[in-house]
Structure 1
Amino acid sequence: MTRRTPQEKKRLSYLKDRRNAYGENDKSSRKNIPRSRRARHHELRRAEHLALRKLTASGGTLDDSEVRFRRPGTGSWRKWADLRLADLVVCRLERRVERGGAGAPRNAARIERIRQTTRPRRG
């Protein structure tokens, strides 16, 4: 195994590390993702149960080949992929540059350096 230089380690960290940029506490995702999935599946089970109840109430049988459950829409909840660390750092630095702080030229140079190091290499 070859040793990596600190610069190579930082480059790989920028490319591979991820950060939660959804806008809520990243620790809350541990509870909110399972909770959202659970609510979605509950909605689907309820729709199937209501369809079965309507079918049996109208005198139909479960053996009918025409039985189709109309599943509710796909819902609005979707998991979001976390942002690459490089993208998150660049966004934060760009925001600082836009606000025109004292270190704006230095931050612009940092943005360019991050973009140079994280650009895909050919070969």
Structure 2
Amino acid sequence: MIGREKRLSYAKDRRNDYGENDKSSRKNIRRNKRFPHRANRRREHQILHAGVEEVLYLKRPKRWRKYRDAPLGEIVQDRIERRMRMGIVPREVGDPRISRIQYVSVGRDPR
């Protein structure tokens, strides 16, 4: 049985599962917020000056949302399951490892 600190760490510590470098998120979040706002401002400008409201109002405004990182426990469990599927880790080794990753819920939905 693993200690309470380790279980809390699996629940509270988070890792980037979006597939990009976690350091690049500082720039990419700002960039991804900027593009939809710019496109929406341009669209509003076209509506005001061109009088083509019926065509442009049919399109929804663009938006972008951030997604939170996944708990460390989920990431570790997914990696072990993937290694078992690929045959890197035998099932008799992987199953006990997964059973040891019982992380404590911290009062929030993990996603």
Given the two structures, how large is their TM-score scaled by the length of structure 1?
A: 0.70
Count of residue pairs brought into register by the alignment: 102
TM-superposed CA distance for 1:31, in Å, is 0.5
User: Which residue of structure 1 lines up, in the alignment, with residue 28 of structure 2?
Assistant: 32
Identity of aligned residues (%): 44
Moved more, 20-29 or 83-92: 20-29
What RMSD in Å do the two structures reach over aligned CA positions? 2.7
The higher relative CO (CA closer than 8 Å, separation ≥ 6) is in: 2
Work out whether residues 11 and 103 of structure 2, in 8 Å CA contact, stay in contact via their aligned partners in 1: yes
Larger Rg: 1
Shift of 1:102: 5.1
8 Å CA contact 1:97–1:104 kept in 2: the answer is yes
Return closer, same or farther for 1:74/1:50 CA change in 2, 3 Å cut-off. closer
**Residue 118 (structure 1) aligned with residue 103 (structure 2):** yes
8 A Cα contact 2:36 2:62, kept in partner? yes
TM-score between the two structures when normalised by the length of structure 2? 0.76
Structure 2 residue 3 is the aligned partner of structure 1 residue 7: yes
Aligned equivalent of 1:52: 48
Question: 8 Å contact 2:11–2:72 — kept in the other structure?
Answer: yes
